[in-house]
Amino acid sequence: MGAFRGTEPQRSTQRLQHLVRRPRGTALFQSHVVVDAEAHQLTSASVLIAVGALLLTTLSSAGSWLDLAVPLLPFGAGVGLAFGVMDNAAVSTVPIQKAGTAAGIFNTMRITGESVAVAGAAALLTTITAAGISGDTAVAGQAIQGHVAAVHREALAAGFTHAFHVLGLVLAVLSAAGAVLTYLGLGVTRRVDHPVE
């Protein structure tokens, strides 16, 4: 840098001439590997969600609220970490004038995804719970909503706990797959080329 003097346009021209006059076979760029922090954060978020989902499979119908808090801590940390990174990525990749639009589109897609996921989880819980109590979907559906008749309480508790364990395993597998795909797909390391001075 010190060898180039004058105004910025002059220095740019001097750098270009310096590159053009470089001996044949000499590298024009120096490459080095840069760790993509966002890819690490998204991978970590998926791993945390997978851990939380696996811990959900340890719950029992006789468990306490504290037992429920243990799996929800890593789960919530993973979701929070992922949303922060994705929200930032959605806004930072567009011109400043369109940041509001990008944030709106991202949040619309996020809320739509959450709605579909909650509906899918409820359907899966109802189906598996119903299978555990001789296929009575009406009773299982009421149980999912929190309305449990005393006569069905024990069977529903066992069926719902089993359904919750299955849902936890499904979510853990999906999250673990997401972690691997994020790690591989986003290229946790990428090559960045810088001009040689």
If we measure between CA atoms, which residue out of 73, 83, 21 comes closest to residue 48? 73
Hey, CA dihedral for 37, 42, 47, 48, is it positive or negative?
Answer: positive
Report the number of distinct structural domains present in the chain: 1
Q: What are phi and psi of 31, to 5 degrees?
A: -105, 145
Domain that holds residue 71: 34-187
The answer to whether position 6 is within a domain reads: no
Q: What are phi and psi of 189, to 5 degrees?
A: -120, 140
Question: pLDDT tens per residue, the chain (197 residues)?
Answer: 455 455 655 554 454 444 344 444 444 444 333 346 777 888 899 999 999 999 989 988 787 888 889 999 999 999 999 888 888 877 877 888 888 888 888 889 989 998 999 999 888 888 887 777 766 677 767 766 777 676 667 777 788 888 889 999 999 999 999 999 988 887 645 544 444 44
The answer to whether position 40 is within a domain reads: yes
The answer to whether position 107 is within a domain reads: yes
Residues sharing a CB contact under 8 Å with residue 5, sequence separation 6 or more, in sequence order = 11, 14
If we measure between CA atoms, which residue out of 180, 184, 173, 182 comes closest to residue 50? 173
